[in-house]
Structure 1
Amino acid sequence: MLTFLQNLYAHTFKLCLPIIYSLFEGLHDHVISIGKSVNGFALLVIEISDKPGQSESEPAFKFIGNVHGDEPVGREVLIKLANWLCDNYLKDPLATLIVENMHLHILPTMNPDGFALRRRGNANNVDLNRDFPDQFFPINDEINYRQPETRAIMNWVKQEHFTASASLHGGALVANYPWDGSRDQSKQYYGCPDDKTFRYMASVYSQSHYNMSLSKEFNGGITNGAFWYPIYGGMQDWNYIHGGCFELTLEISDVKWPKAAELPVIWEHNRMSMLNLAASLVKTGVHGRIFAADTGHPIPGSLMIKGIDSEIRASRTYGDYHRMLAPGENYEVMASMEGFKTKATRILLEEEAVSLDFILDPDGADGQMKMLRNNCGCLCDNDKLFHVQGAHLELYLFVLLVVVALYVLFKRKTSSKFTTQRHSPKRPIAV
């Protein structure tokens, strides 16, 4: 497979996605489209799991390549990664762990138009890694002004509930982590609330790489984005803030357009880094589910770590959460949800992941408030439902009395019409 890609890469830089994805035509359930580029090319994602397309209480990781059209190495390496995992499932322990314990999503190219044009931006010549909403400066706050590739990623993140991710770039050799910018736009170290965890994740990639950690420019082969050079509208900061997704920006090749003969070497240098980073989702961190004590049903509560100003949400279907944390620390973990009492417990996170479930008690004034829950985990107070229904009933009776009074006063209606009007409207059913 790599030989095919090398030859294709060596002789042409024209768009070749239909050819590449035909390699996966035997895995129809594994390939989906999350949207289209400006020029109408599908943004195709390969999902690798023992149960692709099915919802499970497992963490999800995504790799994205070719964000910049003139940085094609990521797309080649990600195609090889997908092929390697499929070939080595049940043969290699790391491949088996990834396939059976998580959902891995691979988008080899976010910018097929830019790749076809051999330029950084998309078909509208917009840098997609400057097109996301930014926390410090409003950039394209109106979603209709964002590029279709950007909107596709945003909708995808909101739909899939990713735990962590990485985008692959070219032109340097370093693992970059948030924040990507600073409030005053100056070049400085500007760490996010999970700075320690991000440094751990970046180090997992760098230390597993053939020579990234030996960098003379970047200590340990990792860097804070704002300390390297500030950018605004970047994808990794948006993922962390709005998706609860811990994303790294990985520069995997000093040369943007290396020779075809160098592709096998770049793949081998990055293979263990990509595998170890993805596997870290199940090898470390804290994982569990959140339940309601009175019903035993899973609920989409929030999980926070004391002293870290960020939270993640449990899934609506299973109430499962997956929280990346740097190992070797004590943490106080707190679970909460509206209508329930918050619970907290301390854990010692060593080199292995910690499993921790929460059972939350309903939070009523008298401790006995009963709640109705719909399938989405929404909460409704029984008493409030009763009052709403009572309010509607009183309104209908009032309207009926007004109609009767008008009849008596003005005598404009016949007896038959009066009989028709006196029926009150159908009452809504509260759900």
Structure 2
Amino acid sequence: MPPSRFSSTETLQDHQAQMGVGSQYESESLRVKDTQLRASSYKRRGLGPHRGRLNIQSGVEDGDIYDGAWCARHRDKQQWLEIDALRPTGFTGVILQGRSSIWSWDVVHSYKVQLSNDSLVWKPCMNGTEEAIFEGNQDPETPVLSLFNSTVARYIRINPQTWYQNGTEGDICLRAEVLGCTLPDPNNLYPWQTEPPGSKDKLDFRHHNYKEMRKLMRSVNQACPDVTRIYSIGKSYKGLKLYVMEISDNPGKHELGEPEFRYVAGMHGNEVLGRELLLNLMQYLCQEYKRGDQRITHLIKETRIHLLPSLNPDGHEMAFKKGSELAGWALGRYTYEGIDLNHNFADLNSVMWTAIELETDRSKLINHYFPIPEMYTSEEAFVASETRAVIRWMQNIPFVLSANLHGGELVVTYPYDMTRDWAPREHTPTPDESFFRWLAAAYASTNQAMSNPNRRPCHNNDFLKYNNIINGADWHNVPGSMNDFSYLHTNCFEVTVELSCDKFPHASELPVEWENNRESLLVYMEQVHRGIKGVVRDKDTDHGIAGAVIEVEDIDHHIRSAAAGDYWRLLNPGEYRVTASADGYTPSSRTCHVMYEHHPTICDFRLTKLRKQRLTQVLKKGEKLRNNMQLRLRQLRNRKQRVAPKASNRRLDND
């Protein structure tokens, strides 16, 4: 079969089905070690063969150890990049990219492929009687796939033949992925020991387009109708519904004292792992609940869980059509309108910091529930329909805790995401810094990939030295993020989880990624039961008070009670002085102790109406006054009668 170049109307999955290819070799993932990549030469450490992985991203500065490709030291046709598959493999194709750099334009226009079983004797891919020449890249970012007849070998080399030459400055630089299936070893007496890692959970491990996602969600709902409900929070620009799976022992109803939790995935449509993990999670929770698993049953009975697997379905459909690897780094990231949803929420950080700078009386400052500026809510505002839908969702449900699932790195970030002075990066903590670090560590420390001390960095940041957690603004400035908006406009604490180096891993990687993240997903949900919770009630009527302010001493961020008066305040273990207040009521304070156990401390409040408000309420209802209230009413009337003549005399004097 002659070499063929990828057609834009086909997907990588189509080619794999035709060729019998099981998967990419996954140099982009953590499964291929740096020692498996060799090269004829390289310019410096930051451009070594270990940087020749598909979609690897460079740092801002050229010249550091995290550059965006393998680049040969010499500019001749004897240069090569070699991949050692470690075992006999049926190779069938190569995907190529140029160099990731904001300063340089380096691409390979054509190349040869050579294969070997011992790394000594090499045989080229042939096109009839001649060595096959494969077409490379015309730009640095678009992945180009070339296919050839399946050839069994252990080693494969990519040998550039022509490249972009900017006068005398053009370098041989590339990023690559190879396609192939590892073959069973006939001499291996223990084949199960060399089987690729997977999962024992019986879940649907594959990529789902929009219709398939909807079908899977319906199947979960049909399997567990008593504890699940599917609803939509709105539509995308192209009219695709934003479906949510609710999992609770009373779906469709907020129960007094039960916290609301949400996972959101697919904000960037090409970061698909979060979408598939949430689909796996809803299947897993349903299966384990039916099986009677104690942990899962307790979680479902004590928590109202909301799973939104695809916030940007339009973007996902674009990336899905290209398939794993061929979507590149950015296709599908934005909405159909070209909006990055992670920069599209109202910038309440600037509103807060401007108020702090202008207001001299700090007692007049608010520190929570910042209103959305009018210019943002207008129909002319450049706000995506997906963003508006999520904001309504946040306002309608009293969420307590959330995580936003992304891809392309291995780290958990926490607010603030925006720097105060618009610096490119600067540590910008919230008043709840210590608890946000707890939340981030809860996910990162239980994630098998993140917590592996021997893993390599994904791209251009080594987050291992931070224990795989970082303040969002200390990584890079993100104005208008959902995390910051959630914290400043609602009661909900939210972090971002970067799940994998690979934004769009091959379907064969999904069982491994589920195993990496299953415990993390469960542990993080359980954190919603940290801290204190309770109900703020009217002392006389015993009715819940909506919108009561809950203030924790020495933490300059308050939260408010929900419509029924119940509240949840996430806190680290310790002793806290807590005050509840509401308009027309006398504030009440008490000391609350938070323990290490996975259940909150109950701190209820009963507020007494101020005398004037209580008297007005009784008279309005026509109720009988108590003796002390009758006395208070006579005192007020007598005072009014004494004041009235004096006021009248003053008016006469003025006339």
- TM-score category by the smaller chain? 0.7 to 0.9
CA–CA separation in structure 1 for the residues paired with 2:608 and 2:533? 20
User: 1:146-173: per-residue Cα shift (whole Å, max 9, x none)?
Assistant: 1110011000010011011011000011
For the pair 1:76 / 2:276, whether they are aligned, the reply is yes
- Give me the whole-angstrom Cα distance separating, in 1, the residues matched to 2:431 and 2:482: 17
CA distance in 1, matches of 2:206, 2:311: 22
* Alpha-carbon distance in 2 for matches of 1:235, 1:182: 15
Q: TM-score, normalised by structure 1?
A: 0.80
Which residue pairs with 1:423 in the alignment? none
User: Is the 1:362–1:370 contact (alpha carbons within 8 Å) kept by the matching residues of 2?
Assistant: no
What is the CA distance between 1:211 and its match in structure 2?
3.4
1:368/1:114 CA distance change after superposition, 3 Å: closer
Give 3-state SS (helix, strand or coil) of 2:376's partner. Answer: coil
Q: TM-score, normalised by structure 2?
A: 0.54
Change (3 A) 1:208 1:4: closer
Answer whether contact 1:94 1:279 (CA < 8 A) is retained. no
**Post-superposition shift, 1:289?**
0.6
RMSD: 2.5
CA distance in 2: counterparts of 1:168 and 1:226, whole angstroms: 17
In 2, distance between residues paired with 1:41 and 1:60?
A: 25
Show the counterpart of 1:338: 583
- Change in 2 beyond 3 A, CA 1:336/1:272: same
Does the 8 Å contact 1:113/1:123 carry over to 2?
yes
Give the Å deviation of 1:55.
2.2
1:141 corresponds in structure 2 to: 376
Q: Indicate whether 1:197 and 2:396 are aligned.
A: no
Map Cα deviations across residues 122-160 of structure 1 (whole Å, 9 max, x no partner). 111110111100124589723433111001100001001
- Judged with a 3 Å threshold, the aligned counterparts in structure 2 of structure 1 residues 71 and 351 are, in CA distance, closer, same or farther, namely same
C-alpha separation in 2, matches of 1:99 and 1:281 = 12
Q: Which residue of 2 aligns with 1:324?
A: 570
Residue deviations 1:300-329 (CA, integer Å, cap 9, x gap) = 212111111212111112x111111112x2
**In 2, are the aligned partners of 1:15 and 1:116 still within 8 Å (CA)?**
no
1:131 maps to which of 341, 344, 349: 344
Residues 220 and 373 (structure 1), Cα distance of their counterparts in 2 relative to 1, 3 Å cut = farther
340-349 or 69-78, which moves further after superposition? 340-349
Aligned to 2:596: 351
Q: Secondary structure at the match of 1:333?
A: strand
* Alignment partner of 1:364 is 2:364: no
Measure how far apart 1:93 and its partner are. 2.4
User: Relative to structure 2, which stretch is displaced further, 36-45 or 293-302?
Assistant: 293-302
**Structure-2 residue corresponding to 1:20:** 216
Match of 1:388 in 2: none
Given candidates 23, 27, 48, the residue that maps to 2:247 is 48
AA aligned to 2:484 is D
What is the aligned partner in structure 1 of residue 235 from structure 2?
A: 36
**Which has more helix, going by share of residues?**
1
Query: Equivalents in 1 of 2:582, 2:541: separation in Å?
Result: 15
Separation (CA, whole Å) in 2 of partners of 1:371 and 1:25 = 47
Q: C-alpha deviations, 1:357-410, integer Å up to 9, x for none?
A: 101111236x96453699xxxxxxxx9xxxxxxxxxxxxxxxxxxxxxxxxxxx
- The answer to whether the aligner puts 1:209 opposite 2:209 as a matched pair is no
Give the aligned partner of residue 155 of structure 1: 392
Identity within the alignment, %: 34
Question: Are the structure 2 counterparts of residues 350 and 18 from structure 1 closer, same or farther at C-alpha, using a change threshold of 3 Å?
Answer: closer
Larger radius of gyration: 2
Which consecutive unaligned segments of at least 5 residues does structure 2 have? 1-199, 320-331, 352-372, 454-461, 621-632, 634-655
After TM superposition, give the deviation of residue 299 of structure 1 in Å. Answer: 0.9
Q: Which of 108, 112, 116 is 2:317 aligned to?
A: 116
SS in 2 for 1:203: helix
Q: Distance in 2 between matches of 1:332 and 1:280?
A: 21
1:25 to 1:272, Cα distance in 2 relative to 1, 3 A: closer
Which of 445, 468, 475 is the matching residue for 1:221?
468
- Match of 1:181, SS state, is coil
Q: Which secondary structure does the structure 2 equivalent of 1:23 belong to? A: helix
Contact kept, 8 Å, 1:334 with 1:342, in 2: the verdict is yes
In the alignment, is the contact (CA less than 8 A) between 2:412 and 2:443 conserved in 1?
A: yes
SS in 2 for 1:253: coil
Deviation at 1:332, TM superposition (A): 1.0
User: Is residue 290 of structure 1 aligned with residue 536 of structure 2?
Assistant: yes
Cα separation, 1, equivalents of 2:206 and 2:542: 57
> Which residue of structure 2 aligns with residue 166 of structure 1?
403
- Give the CA deviation at 1:4: 7.6
Query: Does the Cα contact within 8 Å between 1:362 and 1:369 map onto a contact in 2?
Result: no
Distance 1:291 1:341, change over 3 A: same
Q: Which residue of 2 is the match for residue 184 of structure 1? A: 421
Q: In structure 1, how many angstroms separate the alpha carbons of the residues matched to 2:236 and 2:266?
A: 13
User: CA separation in 2, counterparts of 1:161 and 1:372?
Assistant: 31
After TM superposition, the structure 1 = structure 2 runs for residues 240-279 of structure 1, keeping only pairs within 5 Å, are 240-279=487-526
* 1:85 positional shift: 0.6
* Per-residue CA distance 1:72-116 (angstroms, 9 max, x = gap): 000000011011111111622221121000100000000000001
**Structure-2 change in CA distance of 1:123 and 1:3 (3 Å):** farther
1:279: Cα distance to partner? 1.2
Gap runs ≥5 in structure 1: 375-382, 384-431
**C-alpha separation in 2, matches of 1:99 and 1:372:** 42
List per-residue Cα deviations over 1:279-298 (Å, max 9, x = no partner). Answer: 1212x210111111111111
* Contact 1:97-1:279 within 8 A present in 2 as well: no
Distance, in Å, in 2 between the alignment partners of 1:59 and 1:251 is 25
Could you say which residue in structure 2 is the equivalent of 1:400? none
Check whether the contact 2:204–2:280 (CA below 8 A) recurs between aligned residues.
no
The residue matched to 1:261 in structure 2 has which SS? Answer: helix
CA contact (8 A) 1:33 1:44 kept: yes
Contact 2:349 2:484 in 1 (8 A): no
Partner of 1:422: none
2:338 corresponds to which letter in structure 1? N
The residue type paired with residue 127 of structure 1 is D
Higher relative contact order (CA 8 A, sep 6+): 1
Match of 1:346, SS?
Answer: strand
C-alpha distance in 2 between matches for 1:17 and 1:8 = 9
Kept in 1: contact 2:267–2:310 (CA 8 A): yes
Q: 1:368 to 1:260 in 2, by over 3 A?
A: closer
Once the two structures are TM-superposed, the CA of residue 41 in structure 1 deviates from its matched residue by 0.5
Amino acid of the residue matched to residue 51 of structure 1?
N
Taking a change above 3 Å as real, the CA distance of residues 161 and 113 of structure 1, as seen in their structure-2 partners, is same
- Counterpart amino acid of residue 239 in structure 1: S
Which amino acid counterpart does residue 265 of structure 2 have in structure 1?
Answer: G
Deviation at 1:121, TM superposition (A): 0.4
Cα 1:269–1:372 shift into 2, 3 Å: farther
Amino acid of the structure 2 residue aligned with 1:246: F
| Selected match of 2:412 from 163, 172, 175 | 175
Q: 1:2 to 1:137 in 2, by over 3 A?
A: farther
Aligned counterpart in structure 2 of residue 98 of structure 1, from 266, 289, 299: 299
